[in-house]
Chains A and B, each alone.
Chain A
Amino acid sequence: MALKAFSKFTRRLVLAVAAGGGLLALNACDATSDGASGAPTQLLNVSYDPTRELYEEVNAAFAARWAQDHGGDANLNIEMSHGGSGRQARAVIDGLEADVVTLALPYDIDQIASTGLIASDWQTRLPRNSAPYTSTMVFLVRAGNPKNIRDWNDLVRADVAVITPNPKTSGGARWNYLAAWGYALRQPGGNSESARNFVRQLYANVPVLDTGARGATTTFAQRSIGDVLITWENEAHLALTEFGEGQFEIVTPSISILAEPSVAWVDGNVARHGTREAAEAYLRFLYTPDAQDIAARRYFRPSDPDALARHAARFLSLNSSPQAKCSAIGRAFTPPISRTARSSTRSAPVRDDNDRPSPSSMAVHGAERFARFLAGARLHSCLSRLLPLAAAGGFDVAPVGSGA
């Protein structure tokens, strides 16, 4: 009697297991047939952290445009993946099948290009260095600016805790690093040694190194850690609206960097997916007045001078701040692409940590490692061209949004 009941149980168990196996087989079929057919065109845009809201709007606009251009039956579906720029580039290299990448800095796309997945001349395939929008790095402080943070040199004060993401995984953090470096370099008597010390001091004040810009914003705004957040201009404005106007203030430093988030279609993947046409159209769409307006409304600076002029008021706060008088506000370093300084890179001295081990060694160590990585890496990328030039004092200074 009992045996009979048990065997019923076992029969059911066997059935359940068989069902599970069937599911597995089904999934295998699904996986193989995936991509072969496909009435709606699928695009995967692998992007960095603070562009979530931007591309939500851009994608809807482009899908409408695409349907309009290709008759009613053309369906386009754009999928998004967001994360720290460096991490996202790594994922594409490891096989994430992005049709387009819209990352925080050219360096990350160069990394993908170095595997052959993207043509090495990608930066010249689209207008204005393949940067449809630009941005700059600003400070976000708590309401009333209790620590009276005005400029970069306030960030190295002992009583200030700075939130910035990890430059090894986050593109925005690399721009932050370079902006701080550039500031130190332009101080009286500034040189590569003083800049390195300045950056080291700054990173000693960082209690949390998040992997991406968005994580850093949540750390600062939601978890209330730190006195100042160094972040993208657009991310700072987003934080103001998301968390209520009264909570935070934007402080624009006397000098910052012209950040050029770059875009490219991934040749290897679009060839495989047959999405080359759609991918290129999508990226070119970013340069149209419609998309430039969307970018401006999200506080990305349009790279099209006309669009920038249309939205000048939105970015005026930066130029009209009190510090503007001393010339450099809203101005930036732009790396001259043509010049390289490999020899000076190699000879750049790499400091050992033996002089003063810092208590918050985690952050310092990260920064040191990054500096070493910049100074010592085999260089072919934009970013690594930038720093040796910085060390040699070779930055070109150009106003943000002057076009070109």
Chain B
Amino acid sequence: MPRRIVIQQSVMAADEKIAARIRKDLSQRGVLMLNLIGSPGAGKTALLESTLTGAPFRSVVLEGDVATSRDAERIARTGTPVVQINTRGGCHLEAHLVDKALEELELDGIDVVFIENVGNLVCPAEFDLGEDHKVAVCSVPEGPDKPLKYPHLFSQADAVLLTKVDLLEHLDFDRDLFWGDVRDLNSRAQMLEVSALRGEGVPEWIAVVERWIRGKRS
């Protein structure tokens, strides 16, 4: 007769252990790590380009994509060290992939590790990478209903960035609906509107990152 044995451990126990080790290691070094999550085309890479150009902190970037090193090439042009992670069909990054990529980077003297997750509003929100904060990135052309349609990400993010706000004048985007739903889901998140193209909102976003760096080191 089979015997029932109670286990009660997380399904992702092995990967969570790696995430915990990454978090501890980065804490000891005083390095902040942010996990940027948003749809393909939400403007995550453009946001990073405008953040990294002239930012008062030193950064490295991990670029997650199913295929190509196009995003890493764009980041490299800003002079920031970058590692491309190709998941070859995988819809999200996992801690063991981040762990391996971090080994390729020199972290001495670095303030922030930006992770650009694979473009997807669902799976990336489920996996702990050892980051300090998840950042939800959603663009104006995606429509204002995304927070309620993908509540898991928006309720977990410590910052929600509405990108491509330069398009607001051309599209019928209900801003009050968008931010009202974000507030209902997660009133504690930082809420910012940015246009990487025009630079609007980028200084405010940089100020949030600086606050997080100071918070981590105090």
A and B held together in a complex:
no
